[in-house]
Structure 1
Amino acid sequence: MRDDHPFCWQQKIHAHQWFFIAACVYALLIIPMTVFARAGFAPVILAVPAMHAYEMLFGYALALIAGYLLGPMPAWHLLLLLGLWLVARVSTLTGDWGWLSLASNSGFAMLLAWRLLPRLWVAKKWRNRLLAPLLGLICAAAIVTGLTGQISAFEWSRHLLDESVQLFALLMLFMGGRMLAPAAAGEFYRQGMELEARVQPHIEGWLIVMVLASVVLSPVIAPVAGMMLIVAGMLAGIRLLRWQLWHCLARPDLICLGLGYAWLALGLILLGWVKLSGEKEYFSAVVHAITIGALGTLSTNVIVRVTLLHVKQYPSHIRLILTITMLMSLAAIGRISADFFGYRDDWLILAACAWSAGFLLVLYILISCIGARASLSR
């Protein structure tokens, strides 16, 4: 194929253009399918909590990471990554949780790590350089968790999934702070003020230490790990308060990112309380403050924000961000309430509907931006 052809295998394509749509469509479908699976109307494998967790973390969230961090890359390499991801999702949902699923999931995780880690390791500050091993641990967890499931080591698989939630929480603490701090500082500057507390490196450093220590100590001294998560959640809350987002009410996009960060702080405190108290029956409920409240809110806002900026539009002008964020919070509240109150199925249906409605709106924005991008290219 000639290089002047409209599509060339060597041409550079932004990864988010494909992976954001793939992740969005998958998120839109996976939660309703999980609810239907419990009634026998969808792939039965999704009725297994561990498989549902695996698909949310290493299916949806890992695709989001690929879209956000890979940047422009050759079309053939992007197609290979996306192809492996799609094969992994289809083979899992069709019930073929075998070597094909393991190979495709592992291949995607390894290729993603190979593309990202060398580039991220060149950072000078240790807090920035930590992003490389953290992503490496997440990719390794995707592979090892799949392998333990394949060899029926289900106890290990469940433990790895539980600890992976904390790794994703740490990634959100890091990336969310790096997105919110400069954006809030810019809004302060626009108003003729100055935001003194920006990245807050000391708090960020302690957040990293506390969460990583909790991951290490959880298998041996769960109460101590729980105390560290509670401290991490409190530090995240202090960090959020110091950004003074109440001065940014004219920027709904920043308020929505702040709400996602608040869900993250709350989720760490609740998860720490479960580990500290030993009330394991509440783990499934409180972990959704992180996986739905924080991950759902932050990821939808990131998808919308990056996509709009790429077509030279401003996220603060899109009021749908508020609706999307409220739907994510409703989904989190509904899922948590299902384990504490009656009418469990009704709460789960409410949570699934709110989640999917939010991602349907995100998909609408993505499709609209495709048209805007086509107009810009003419």
Structure 2
Amino acid sequence: MASSAESIRAYSGPPVFSFGFRPFFLFSAVWAAIAVPVWVASMALGDGTVGAMDGRLWHIHEMLFGYLAGVIAGFLLTAVPNWTGRLPVTGLKLAGLFALWAAGRAAGFLPASMGIVGAVIDSAFLVVFAGLIWREVLAAKNARNLPVCLLVTMLAAANIAFHLRGVIPLFGPGAERGAVAVVTGLIALIGGRVTPSFTRNWTAARGIAKGPTAFNLFDAAVLALTGVALVCWVAAPWSPLTGGAMALAGVSNLARLARWRGWLARPEPLVWILHLGYAWLGAGMILLGLSALVPDAVPFTAGVHALTTGAMGVETLAIMTRATRGHTGRPRVADRSTIAIYLLILSAALVRVSAPFLGEWTVILLAVSATLWALAFAGFVLSYGPMLWRRSL
């Protein structure tokens, strides 16, 4: 059987469908740059709705189940062949999977009379994708990554629950929290692998002996605590018990991050951005914990956006830039445009998390954050789009 590299070299179709990261990274970034301005415009210039959905709900859905689901697909379609030794999904199969994702984005604009049709179309992508990941991991007997399969399945279930909110209203907020919890769990799990690994590679190449601490029982305990805290948060987000668990998990993740010694790699943005993304995870969990313990002092939305705009926005752009450069034969070194992208997304997160604390400035800061977010992803499309669309070097 041909190796993954041989299979990719033998592929002669459109370059964008030669590997999973290409279409999903590119068009997820396009969508991230477009969807937030669409939502803002619906509030400022329209009646606050997008398609048949309240604009706020559409925004939440498209960030969690549109943008993030697309980036997760691009990452896993690239990583799973390395984990399992099986051939990557390319060509027509990849194009078909991408078409399902794109159809879901278009379905969000269907009228209310086609709501059921739109929900089915949108739900199909994550269901099919979850099945694909299960097939690859099980076929390779790759037990280590079964938790990843479970988390993707949970994301698919959360999307279905989101669409059922009209029938069972409680499903809506639970689905939103469930999706945030799933992606947070994926960052803790996979970010907890790649961040110390890439940092170790960077320090070792420069003869720095004491790099990141290797995975041990402390990391396992932090992951377990994080999982328990997130389950509590999905079930009872305003419980003091949940607040304590989330705050403790956040502090524990920051302690875990410190053990990876990210300051050693401060000369290379492709490395330190991973550490800053993970730092937002710890900060977000602490803020959500405090919002349950002292709700008058810490707004709930500050914690949510520390995880979404912060941890998820920063971490996904960090992975997308690094993976694109590496898999297209370019040096794993950040150029000026990449640094600009990082500064824009970090600023977007900082402004968005600060906004609920600043009273009369909140609306203006939301607009500023949305602009910075859109510019970060537009910058990725302009700088990295040609790398993703064309053949590798």
Q: TM-score by structure 2 length?
A: 0.85
Assess, with a 3 A threshold, how the Cα gap between structure 1 residues 5 and 17 changes in structure 2: closer, same or farther.
Answer: closer
Q: CA deviation at 1:68?
A: 0.8
Q: Name the aligned partner's letter for residue 22 of structure 2.
A: Q
Contact 1:182 1:198 (C-alpha < 8 Å) held by counterparts: no
Distance 1:259 1:5 in 2: 37
Q: What CA deviation, in whole Å up to 9, does each residue of 1:66-111 have, x standing for no partner?
A: 1111133142222222222222111213454711221112210111
Assess, with a 3 A threshold, how the Cα gap between structure 1 residues 85 and 280 changes in structure 2: closer, same or farther.
Answer: farther
Greater RCO between the two (CA within 8 Å, min separation 6)?
A: 2
Q: What CA deviation, in whole Å up to 9, does each residue of 1:3-35 have, x standing for no partner?
A: x99549xx9721111111110100001111111
Distance 1:67 1:27 in 2: 15
Task: Return 5+ residue gaps in structure 2 as ranges.
Answer: 1-9, 79-87
Match of residue 158 from structure 1: 173
Distance 1:43 1:306 in 2: 37
Distance 1:27 1:281 in 2: 27
- Residue 68 of structure 1 pairs with residue 75 of structure 2: yes
- Residue 268 of structure 1 pairs with residue 256 of structure 2: no
Contact 1:226 1:273 (C-alpha < 8 Å) held by counterparts: yes
Identity score, percent:
25
Match of residue 364 from structure 1: 382
Match of residue 298 from structure 1: 315
Distance 1:116 1:194 in 2: 37
Q: CA deviation at 1:263?
A: 1.0
Assess, with a 3 A threshold, how the Cα gap between structure 1 residues 363 and 42 changes in structure 2: closer, same or farther.
Answer: farther
What RMSD over aligned residues (CA atoms) do the two structures have, in Å?
A: 2.6
- Residue 56 of structure 1 pairs with residue 95 of structure 2: no
Assess, with a 3 A threshold, how the Cα gap between structure 1 residues 197 and 355 changes in structure 2: closer, same or farther.
Answer: same
Assess, with a 3 A threshold, how the Cα gap between structure 1 residues 73 and 42 changes in structure 2: closer, same or farther.
Answer: farther
Q: 1:302-317 residue pairs with structure 2 within 5 A?
A: 302-317=319-334
Distance 1:355 1:12 in 2: 27
Give the secondary structure class of the aligned counterpart of 1:176.
Answer: helix
Match of residue 352 from structure 1: 370
Give the secondary structure class of the aligned counterpart of 1:321.
Answer: helix
Q: CA deviation at 1:363?
A: 0.6
Contact 2:11 2:18 (C-alpha < 8 Å) held by counterparts: no
Q: Name the aligned partner's letter for residue 142 of structure 2.
A: A
Contact 2:162 2:175 (C-alpha < 8 Å) held by counterparts: yes
Assess, with a 3 A threshold, how the Cα gap between structure 1 residues 270 and 5 changes in structure 2: closer, same or farther.
Answer: closer
- Residue 191 of structure 1 pairs with residue 206 of structure 2: yes
- Residue 217 of structure 1 pairs with residue 232 of structure 2: yes
Count matched residues: 366
Match of residue 170 from structure 1: 185
Distance 2:295 2:392 in 1: 57
Match of residue 246 from structure 1: 263
Assess, with a 3 A threshold, how the Cα gap between structure 1 residues 315 and 254 changes in structure 2: closer, same or farther.
Answer: same
Q: Name the aligned partner's letter for residue 30 of structure 1.
A: A
- Residue 114 of structure 1 pairs with residue 121 of structure 2: no
Q: CA deviation at 1:334?
A: 1.9
Contact 1:43 1:94 (C-alpha < 8 Å) held by counterparts: no
Task: Return 5+ residue gaps in structure 1 as ranges.
Answer: none
